Structure 1
Amino acid sequence: MVRILKRIIEGASWTQSVPEHKPPYIERLTKAINNREKVILYGTGDREGICGISILVLVLRYFNSDVEYFVVSGNESEDALRDLVRRHIDFFSPGLMITLSDKVTRAACDAAGDEEGLVMAIGVRAEERSLSFFKEDLSLVGNVYQLSELLSSYYNTRNFMRYSDLVYLGAPAGIPAGNNERLYRALGSEQLECTTNYGLCAAKAITRGHIDGIRKFITPKDNPVGALDNSRIIIEMLTTGDGNRAEQIAKYLQNLTLC
């Protein structure tokens, strides 16, 4: 906490300044939240995708949003993804679909047709047909966190700060980080020490708090048959509000690693 306060004193900003006029992506998100529109999230099943989806699910649930998430492998054909999104549109009638993958963004835009404001891409270069939030100096999970930061500023809350531990754990290694990304990861490292995330608490207990162990624990096994199912299970562990359920899921995942 002392180090965090020092950063504030030295000038590191917790929240982005709120523009006088809402950017289109914030306008669309706040509309979806305030009107309780069905929101569907799409992301990949790797560790960064899992952490990105988890942050968005937690933030949107905090704002009482009606949200569902779906995990894709990224190896599907565009036709298969387009058919998947169309089925979701027919079944859920979503007001907003948020994508964390350029491939899914293209498929979602094709499935949405001429309907404006239905598709939003985060952390990936978007098609002209979709709204987008993308900063080149941030990783995918860093983009998700910064958007959550900006969205929270419009609702005058700093609740998003508790999710910085997922940025720290989800950010890919070996990618040069800009100033904001380094700050998010540093904050996440400190947040992880006192995390309130039930899933991470359970993972820390099993891995004895070793960072590499936690990262490995929330990374699906490289198994094409069960990887997507494991990704969904990990997201459930990271987003549940039930401590007992988080512990049960963590024990299940631990048993998988022993198989």
Structure 2
Amino acid sequence: MKKRWVQALQGNKETTALLAQQLNIDSSLAQILVQRGISSFEEARQYFRPDMGRLHDPFLMKDMDKAIERIDKAINSREKILVYGDYDVDGTTSVALAFSFFSQFTDQIGYYIPDRHKEGYGISTAGIDYANANGISLIIALDCGIKSTDKIAYANSLNIDFIICDHHLPGEVLPAAVAILDPKRKDCPYPFKELAGCGIGFKLAQAYCLQHRLPQEQYERYLDLVMVSIAADIVPIEDENRILAYHGLIKLNSNPCIGLKALMDISGKNKDYTLTDVVFTLAPRINAAGRMDHANQAVKMLLCTEDNLAQEQSLLINLQNTERKTSDQNMTAEALALIAECEILINKKTTVVYHENWNKGVIGIVASRLTEKYYRPTVVLTKSNGLLTGSARSVAGFDLYEALLGCEDLLVQFGGHKFAAGLTIKAEDIGFFTERFENIVAATITEDLLCPEISIDNEIRLRQIDGKFQRIIAQMAPFGPHNMAPVFVSHEVFLASKPYVVGTKHLKLAIKQQNSSIFECIAFGMAEEYEQLLQPNQPFSVCYTIEENIWKAQKRLQLNIKEIKLN
């Protein structure tokens, strides 16, 4: 699918020139910094050297004082506490962090992850009943709970208090919890709104340490868990998330917790992790536990204090991830066949597919694959406990949550954000939902949004690229939403040698430009389209990122091509 090339607006030329001079960097890189809101030497220093000392005061978060007061009361009176979390990466890392942290101060603590297949997302009646049966009087919920007004009311009727630590959008009515930590609540003055769920748990631990004058090492030891949640939950890499991700990667690569170290070892990559490596190597494995069996297995691994146990747990999770791969490949093939058979996409702006036998734990991955292929807001549904449960995925720039809000009367429940959501509907309403969802999306989405976009930071000449240029780019990491790896475009480039295929579908090529050196390139998935199309002496344009390729201990600059356009 061809993509739109959209070049970022030029920043202020005077600011760019001054910043380039102050930092002694190429003006093209200075321009990218200006485009990202950096306009002074001091702002650049903070950007390139994220400082833990610049984290916000956790007590700026609404209800933080109430949360700490209630936890103190529980610990001092030896009440039983339950740490409750979601079954995805953000939820399991949140539970591991909070349980491990507060276990330092009380032995009257346990944790609970709902069964994805039996209980579904969020606070469950079964979880509250478990707490009641075990004499638990305080539940700390992480990465869920902000819309569970009925469940919190049920817990209150059993004299069970809730502290909610969530980062999802609240509904119009907040649950009647003792404390609700969520920067997205309208009355919360906390200056950064985009923490992951585990980030909220981290701020709770930070607040507890500040309140009791404990050393910061007692909460900073969990930076690797917070970083994994930031990477997996695709939150913006700015403000506190950038600081936490930066230092979390340092910890992961130098002194990870025993569980993560075991998972890194079994994955075949145990050093030099980036956020992208976490997203594609560690996160799928952690997620696989909740998809294929029970997310408790992931929490057990993250809490391991002995190498042997951690190795056993990581082996189990790795096997579950292998099963998950097989399952999602089969389901994706079935979904594609169903779309072709039913002609679901003809003249439509959405995709809604349903099969009663699909694995509930894998439908989110299938939704992502269908969205990538057809580039339409997509919902994949399966049968679960007499209802239809689904995962929804959006395209860049389109607010999926708002579209689902327009279908709220047809949904038993739903939750999520702009780009991903979960939902449950009655079987008899699937036709009504499919039609309503299509009508809402068709009325609000633009044609541009239905075509994938490549956002280009700057146009450069190949001769500008050298070791220093790449070192500056490397210091802009960690990369992720709102701080993506810079994408460059170069025009009038030529083949320097005949392209060849690597693997089955990747293209290796070398390119040059007038007065430039020759640059090696990799174009993933482009062999079939471009191997025969590119000819010697034919000019073309490329957009790409610049990376360091390491092969047999040799480091070389390489261009990672995103797309090619023939001139």
Give 1:244 deviation, angstroms: 1.4
Q: 1:134 aligns with which of 172, 175, 182?
A: 182
Match of 2:317 among 248, 253, 258: 253
**Structure 1 counterpart of 2:282:** 214
Conserved? CA contact 1:81–1:107, under 8 Å:
no
1:28 aligned partner, one-letter code = R
Separation of aligned partners in 1, 2:98 and 2:84: 11
2:145 alignment partner, one of 102, 108, 113: 102
Q: Confirm or deny that 1:179 pairs with 2:239.
A: yes
1:243 aligns with 2:307: yes
173 and 113 in structure 1: CA distance in 2 versus 1, 3 angstrom threshold: closer
Write the mapping of 1:20-39 to structure 2, written as runs, cut at 5 A. Answer: 23-39=65-81
CA deviation after TM superposition for structure 1 residue 247, in Å: 1.0
Partner SS, residue 12 of structure 1: helix
- Alignment of 1:165 with 2:224, yes or no, is yes
Contact 1:52–1:144 (CA<8 Å) still a contact in 2? yes
Superposition misfits of 4+ residues, deviation over 4 angstroms:
114-117
* Greater Cα shift, 210-219 or 238-247: 210-219
Distance 1:36 1:174, change over 3 A: same
Q: How many residues align?
A: 246
Q: Give me the whole-angstrom Cα distance separating, in 2, the residues matched to 1:37 and 1:240.
A: 25
Question: Are 2:80 and 1:66 equivalent residues in the alignment?
Answer: no
Q: 2:88 is matched by which residue type in structure 1?
A: D
Could you tell me which amino acid in structure 1 is paired with residue 164 of structure 2? A
Q: Give, as a single letter, the amino acid of the residue that structure 2 aligns with 1:111.
A: Y
Supply the distance in 1 between the matched residues of 2:215 and 2:158 (Cα, whole angstroms). 32
Instruction: Write out per-residue CA displacement over residues 104-151 of structure 1, whole angstroms, 9 at most, x where no aligned residue.
Output: 843542222357771110024451344111223122121111111111
% identical equivalent positions: 17
Q: 1:143 aligns with which of 200, 213, 222?
A: 200
- How much does 1:173 deviate? 4.7
Shift of 1:235: 0.5
Higher helix share: 1
Paired amino acid for 2:53: A
The higher-RCO structure (CA 8 Å, 6+ apart) is: 1
Residue 24 and residue 18 in structure 1: after superposition, are their counterparts in 2 closer, same or farther (change >3 A)? closer
Q: SS where residue 135 of structure 1 aligns?
A: coil
TM-score w.r.t. length of structure 1: 0.81
Query: Structure 1, residues 148-177: CA drift from partner, whole Å, max 9, x if none?
Result: 111122231221101111111112454324
CA distance in structure 2 between the aligned counterparts of 1:181 and 1:221, rounded to whole angstroms? 26
Change (3 A) 1:134 1:177: farther
Residue 177 to residue 107, structure 1, CA distance change in 2 (3 Å): farther
Task: For residue 95 of structure 1, give the secondary structure of its aligned residue in structure 2.
Answer: strand
- The match for 1:193 is 253
Are 1:18 and 1:150, in contact at CA under 8 Å, matched by a contact in 2? yes
Deviation at 1:248, TM superposition (A): 1.1
Q: Which amino acid is the alignment partner of residue 24 of structure 1?
A: K
Distance 1:27 1:65, change over 3 A: farther
Match of 1:49 in 2: 91
Do the aligned residues in 1 keep the contact of 2:147 with 2:175 (CA within 8 Å)? no
Q: TM-score, normalised by structure 2?
A: 0.39
Give the structure with the higher percent strand.
2
Residue pair 2:304, 2:310 contacting (<8 A) in 1 also: yes
Separation of aligned partners in 2, 1:258 and 1:131 = 40
What is the root-mean-square deviation in Å for CA atoms of aligned residues?
A: 3.1
Match of 1:203 in 2: 263
CA deviation profile, 1:33-79 (whole Å, cap 9, x unmatched): 2333211122111111111111111111122342211112398479x
Distance between the aligned counterparts of 1:200 and 1:243, measured in 2?
11
Inter-CA distance 117–152: structure 2 relative to 1 (3 Å threshold): farther
1:88 aligned partner, one-letter code: Y
Change in CA separation of 1:206 and 1:108 when aligned onto 2, cut-off 3 Å: same
With over 3 angstroms needed to count, the CA separation of the structure-2 counterparts of 1:48 and 1:257, relative to structure 1, is same
2:208 partner amino acid: L
State which structure, 1 or 2, has the greater radius of gyration over its C-alpha atoms.
2
